[in-house]
Chains A and B, each alone.
Chain A
Amino acid sequence: MTQPVSPPRDDRTGKVPPAGQAPAWRAVWSRADVRTLSLLGVLAVLVLIGGITKPDQFLDTRNLQLVLTQASVIGVVTVGMTFVITSGGIDLSVGAIVALASVWATTVATQEYGFGGILFTSIAVGVGCGLVNGVLIAYGGMVPFIATLAMLASARGLALQITEGRTQVVTVPSVLDLGERDAYVLGVPPLVLVFGVVTVIGWLLLNRTTFGRRTVAVGGNAEAARLAGIDVRRQRLYLYLLSGLCCGIAAFLLIVLSGSGQNTNGNLYELDAIAAAIIGGTLLTGGRGTIVGSVLGVLIFTTITNIFALNNLQSDVQQIAKGAIIVAAVLVQRRTASTT
């Protein structure tokens, strides 16, 4: 698996070393491969643990469908988050945008427009919030942390105002049916299909397009990118739009999954998405990002939750173990990466 990388920067000068240093490039490329392999290793160990402790329930098609379905919503959010982090930014508002989009799309008025209305509203609200984030950050000169924190607060507030704390149950049959077993395509739940498509598009966008290279360049060194002729501000605007779009898609998936919209939806998604991206190997400081790593990060988290639930471990134990596994996964990665 090839990973997009920016040339390593000199720590003291912040300058990008001249091109044509093939050995250095190759070292970075193979390091990225090792990173992915070590993530697969962690996932394999988890599958082993699950398979040993609960062979009947864990190693079961229905369980695979369950884990992938549960990973879909946060997975789509994480793909968008990966782009933002790769560009050196952060989006703290993803959970709140999912909440706002899901409640806006499930009001009685929206539901009257049926499937299309719910889908359109989810995505429009997501993109709209992303647009506000992007404009504030790219053209308003706000720090991403602050701008998206403000969006977090106001989107959650607006979501609460719309629902007044009530659960909005979806009554549109075509939306509900999409979450049922009958809708599975060759055994694959539609939610998982969407997650797969978003992942593939995200991978292509980051690794095979100018857009992806610009994202990495902005994250690696925004000033150098500007001097190289990249419209950094427009790029940033697009990135937060993209993150908002992913939130809108995730909101729709969540509506299908839970059959409702609630202002508490997307609780702490920002932390889950950031954690998955970082574990996956995306640099929090920007300049390096990996979609495959992020998706593996999401799958690791979802699998852990699944194994704990199947073994009837309580939430206190779950939280402790989750923290320990995050530390362990990152340490293992560091070690394997530094020995190559």
Chain B
Amino acid sequence: MSAGAFLTGCTSNESSDKDEPAANDQPAADDKPGKPVTIGFAGPQADHGWLNAINDNAKKRAEKYSDVTLEITEGSNDTAQQIGQIETLINKKVDVLVILPADGKALTQVGLKAMRAGIPVINLDRIFNSPQAYRCWIGGDNYGMGLNAGHYIGEKLKDKKNARVIELAGLDNLELTKQRTQGFDDALKNYPNIKKVARQAAEFTVESGQAKMAQLLQAQPEFDALWNHDDDQGVGALRAIEQAGRDDFLMVGGAGALSAFQAIKADNGVLKATVLYPPTMAASAIDLARALGQSKGVGGLAEYEIPASITLYSAVVDKTNVDQYMSTGFK
């Protein structure tokens, strides 16, 4: 994991004009050591490449600041256990909490509890039920991910008559999968010549990606493009494509794994692009937590306070810009 290398330039804090950080008198956070801040970080179990990258990003970012102490809990997918861990952090009286809930809705109460105890909460990605449970939410855009994947494929196929597209979705039990599919469908509506002919849901695992893709390939002897929601299951999907000996279509991935970036750069297979769901958001969350703890604003913005909500952009990475993103790829 080369988390260290990309930490420059992924947030706006390193703006060159440090002398005039913002249009107001409120100081913006910068790299200079300030008031010491203890940040509590609680996330789910890192059993997936992306979640692992989230933890790495948070840790590396915190190490960068001499004034930040990171109290990181053992990741847990169990709601009760995660609530317990966060309550421990509240009792330790950390200055700011960064929480990536295993289940956003189920952890709303403990978010509220922290806020009531006077500890501002940065809610990372999976959103709490109530805005009262967090001071700032920062996360990815699942709908936008689908939208951008759809637009990319749409532009590639816009001159093709009766183009056929298939979708390999992630876990259907998750709301984010529905949002991604909705965005994808909405984008494709702009291209009347394109029809989505099949959709199957895998489970974000290599094994399920291989199994579902093999079936999709058998079901669809001819199609022009494929959007796969997740690069981890994409490893399996690419294996199935290779085993079936198919190369007659364009594939777009999702999330931004290193293996996907490498395949896009090599440009010798069906995978031509991937839509980001950047794990760098965890590093940004640490920046926001530090700014909150030091009562500073965010550099580059005129606001006195850090925003209440930040939605990241799901950029499309293809051969033209893959080098720029290579260092953010997770294993």
A residues in contact (CB < 8 Å) with B: 54, 56-57, 60, 62-63, 66, 69-70, 160, 164-167, 169, 179-181, 254, 257-260, 262-267, 305-306, 309-312, 314-316
Contact = CB atoms under 8 A, between A and B. Distances in A.
Contacts of B219: 54, 57, 309-312
Given A264-B47, A315-B172, 7 more contacts: A179-B239, A257-B210, A257-B239, A262-B206, A262-B232, A263-B47, A309-B216
Given A66-B218, A263-B47, A258 B206 contact: yes
A260 B218 contact: no
B218 A167 contact: no
Contact of B199 (A165, A179, A314): A314
Contact of B259 (A169, A263, A309): A169
Interface of B: 45-49, 51-52, 172, 197-201, 203-212, 214-216, 218-219, 221, 232, 235-236, 239, 242-245, 257, 259, 331
Given A258-B236, A305-B215, A265 B207 contact: yes
Contacts of A169: 235, 259
A181 B206 contact: no
A259 B233 CA distance: 12
Contacts of B199: 312, 314
B261 to A, nearest CB: 14
Given A169-B235, A180-B243, A314-B172, A66 B215 contact: yes
21 contacts: A57-B221, A62-B244, A66-B214, A70-B214, A70-B215, A164-B52, A165-B48, A166-B49, A167-B331, A179-B239, A179-B243, A258-B209, A260-B236, A262-B232, A263-B47, A264-B206, A309-B216, A309-B219, A310-B218, A314-B200, A315-B200
B52 A165 contact: yes
A309 B212 contact: yes
Contacts of B198: 312
A267 B46 CA distance: 16
Contacts of A258: 206-207, 209-210, 235-236, 239
B331 A70 contact: no
Contacts of B245: 181
Contacts of B52: 164-166
A70 B211 contact: yes
A280 B205 CA distance: 28
Given A259-B235, A265-B207, A165 B51 contact: yes
